[in-house]
Structure 1
């Protein structure tokens, strides 16, 4: 009987020891996380004075990395996804006025056509697209032109920000990279 009891205790102890070893192995092994994307995904959100979300932009942020950007990496006169990877998407939670054009609430792809002195900003009805490969002007919702401005410093990563207009309900969507940026004016649509 003692032998059976001793064998059972040893067996239980051995099984418990294996569980402890397995747990230690699980705790010490490192997960295999991917490296940071060279053009990481980012998002900006604009809220009104009541803290309600007015719009959201999801875009990727490519780096300059000592490359000539406009006119070379991003050719003049060609449709650009306005960032990297998936095309930039903009969501309006209310009807908006953009550069004098009324835009219904919804999600759109934000394409641009950069040129030296002005950019054409395009809201397109196609969403969830990669790059500008599937772009067709047949799905364009609006197009507006905005002047190119010189940045006071080099912008290493393509960047977007919201600039609130003083004494007005509207704001500007700023888009900049390298030594250039544009302002896209928007405001709540007239009711």
Structure 2
């Protein structure tokens, strides 16, 4: 028993006295040599929908622009025009299994989520062209689904564009909210 205790103590002493070589390989960089970009004004975020077994079913990756006392819908985001549904890169939705969005059957895969905001309803678009900046490369020919959802009034101001999955009948709703409004996009497992 004493040998085990002494042996374990010796091993600990050796680890403390002889640090891993990785520390010796560290190089100190000056502030001028080690440059990082500033924090993005519209940071990237992600929302995930998981099933009852905690397996990912759907994921949305988007950038979160801020309201900053601006008039959002109808001004910053014009009505009737295709919007990337965020900032920077266009928002992407990944489906890990076949799903239906409203009545459209969508195979598992990654898609760009565009919207066309209106005063009373939004057109929500899933598009095959991915890895795009803004909506500059948007082509209606690449659309795989278009649905219309009603605009709802939020009971408080949503400062940052926000997205979350909320449980719904037989599936989930992707809730997209910003400023004083939000929309719900229904997702459920395909039959």
User: What TM-score comes out, normalization by structure 1 length?
Assistant: 0.83
In structure 1, the gaps of 5 or more residues are: 1-22
Q: How big is the shift at 1:156? A: 0.7
In structure 2, the gaps of 5 or more residues are: 1-24
Q: How big is the shift at 1:24? A: 10
148 and 24 in structure 1: CA distance in 2 versus 1, 3 angstrom threshold: closer
Aligned ranges for residues 1-191 of structure 1 at < 5 Å? Answer: 26=28, 29-30=30-31, 31-165=34-168, 168-190=169-191
Q: How big is the shift at 1:25? A: 8.5
- Hey, what's the Cα distance between the residues in 2 that align with 1:170 and 1:182? 16
- Hey, what's the Cα distance between the residues in 1 that align with 2:173 and 2:83? 20
- Hey, what's the Cα distance between the residues in 1 that align with 2:27 and 2:95? 49
Q: How big is the shift at 1:26? A: 1.7
Q: What is the aligned residue count? A: 165
Write out the 4+ residue segments of structure 1 that deviate beyond 3 Å after TM superposition.
none
Q: How big is the shift at 1:33? A: 2.2
Q: How big is the shift at 1:169? A: 3.0
Quote the RMSD (CA, aligned, Å): 1.6
